[in-house]
Amino acid sequence: MPKETWLKRAGTRYALLGALFGALFPIVGILLVYVVPTDIVVLLAIIGTAPLILAFVAWLAGTREDRMRASNIELEHRVAQRTRSIQSLLDVTGDGFLSFGSDYMVRPEYSRACEVIFGREVSGKRLPDLLFIEEQPKRDFTDGLDLYFAGKARADVIFDLLDTEVTVGERIIRLDYRAIDESTVMCSLSDITGQKQLEAQVEEQERRRSLILRVVSNRTHFAGFVDEAESLFQVLEAAGRGEEDLTGGSEELLMKLHTFKGNANFLGFSRTGTVSHDLEDQLAAVDILDSEFDFSSQIFVLKRQFYDELNIVTDTLGKRWLEDIETVNVSSRYVRKVEQYVRNRYSADNQLVQALEGFRRVPLSSLFSRFPDLINDIASRRGRKVKPVEIHGGDFTVLPERFEPIVNSLTHVARNMIDHGIESPVEREMKGKDPAGDIRIELRDTGRVVEIEMADDGQGIPIAAIEQRGRAQGLIKEGEEVSRRDLLAMIFKPGFSTSEIVTTVSGRGVGLAAVHDAVRKAGGKISVETKTGRGTTFRISLPGDRRKR
């Protein structure tokens, strides 16, 4: 029925009712004539016009009321239409929108995407049950929102504490909360599974790119790393078979594993480094806790992770690239055999021996070529700043197999300088220092000895802390006086560390012990000087090489 027709009929209806009501007036008037003496004509005139007046007034009132009812109906129609439009708009966005109150029941008004996300109708379902499987997350969710619904906490405070990402089935959902009023909260749900997968792919590609870049930039060191891995795996497998006692005799194994971990992290074998760190934790706990663990399975995990990352190299650069490195190593061993044969057979011909050695000699500085990147990488991970590291000297040539063990061990000195020596940029500024620390490496050949010097301008080694730690570990007897030199020598003892925290960089007391062991085996000496607030210097002296070119 058209609105205008409906309004006319409604107005007429009220008019008729008013007229019928007005018809009562003549009846009352006639009765009054017989009771009260008055002019009949005037009375009849009043009585006669009353129905018309009442009918008009009733028509106006009825029309106004019906117009109001019609307006309400039209308004409700518009609201419903607008709601359907908003509902359609929300459905088009692809995001889920729902609301709930203090009972946590999802209200009937929600977008269609919610059913896609949860795989079912959600109206009347408890939202915590939809979002979480475990009971603890459900309780955390309701405990926080209960404070808001009770008026005991602000909405923004509570919403910041709630989980922003949850896993629903195989989907990763981002959650966002908005307070509609004191008793209603709206929750928007966005499916970010594809986004997370893309981020993971980008992260994996970046990891692979970094690994390849590190390997290619440090090809010689990488060749040694592969050999180091094979050697370490043999030692670990022998220990796993029980051929080596892990309790009380695993210091050398820990040193090798610690060095391997550092080299793995430097070359971009980050996952291998992480597994190595975990295995190192477990090995260190054997003596402390007398704990037992499946050593064979841990070795398998380490080997699998190493070869998985090694396959990234071969898949990208080709197996021939790796074989070429191995071929060089084989050729080097062959040359050493020839050298030994010549020494035994033609010991008087020094020129011939030196000529053969010359094929394998490399500048000592080349063995330190990875240190600038290594130091910068460690500093970045530890929140420190360092100036670009320069290597001074080292142009003279050496036999790599003689110096590589020492150079590899000196990576521990670099790590300790960052972790214990160089202060944070803020702390350095407060001390009036350059925010960026300075680490220098100097290589000298005096003809009699080869000197390697590594120094930093950090806070120095805390002598008092060394003494306190030494007494706590029973290295210093009660009442015994120890010289400064002897106290500094303690930092090279296996298991000694002033740090209470073990990180992937330092803290086990293994690194400097490995340095001391490598220097000792090479027949050299190591000393350390430190000044509070001014830095620390490590000096290594090794027997000179008279046969250098």
pLDDT, one tens digit per residue, over 332-359 is: 666 667 667 666 776 666 676 666 666 6
Q: Is 101 in contact with 107 (CB distance < 8 Å)?
A: yes
Is-above-0.85 flag for pTM? no
Give the CATH number of domain 205-317; options: 3.30.70, 1.10.510, 3.30.1490, 1.20.120: 1.20.120
Phi-psi sector, 536: left (phi>0), alpha (psi -120 to 50), beta: beta
Phi then psi dihedrals of residue 533, to 5 deg: 80, -5
- pLDDT digits over 297-317, tens only? 888 999 999 999 999 988 888
Burial class, 131, CB count within 10 angstroms (exposed 0-12 / middle 13-18 / buried 19+): buried
- pLDDT digits over 376-426, tens only? 999 998 999 999 999 999 999 888 888 999 999 999 999 999 988 999 999
Lookup: tokens for 69? 């009812």
Helices (H) and strands (E) in the chain, counts: 22, 11
- pLDDT digits over 98-110, tens only? 999 999 999 988 8
Instruction: Tell me, yes or no, if the two domains 205-317 and 361-543 fold the same way.
Output: no
Residue 286: predicted pLDDT: 67
Domain definitions of the chain by residue range: 3-90, 94-191, 205-317, 320-360, 361-543
- 94-191 has CATH 3.30.450.20 classification: yes
The fraction of the chain above a pLDDT of 90, given in percent, is 35
Q: How far apart are CA 511 and CA 150, in angstroms?
A: 56
* C-alpha 167: how far from chain center: 18
Residue 20: predicted pLDDT: 60
pLDDT mean across residues, the chain: 80
Which CATH fold would you assign to the domain 361-543?
Heat Shock Protein 90 (3.30.565)
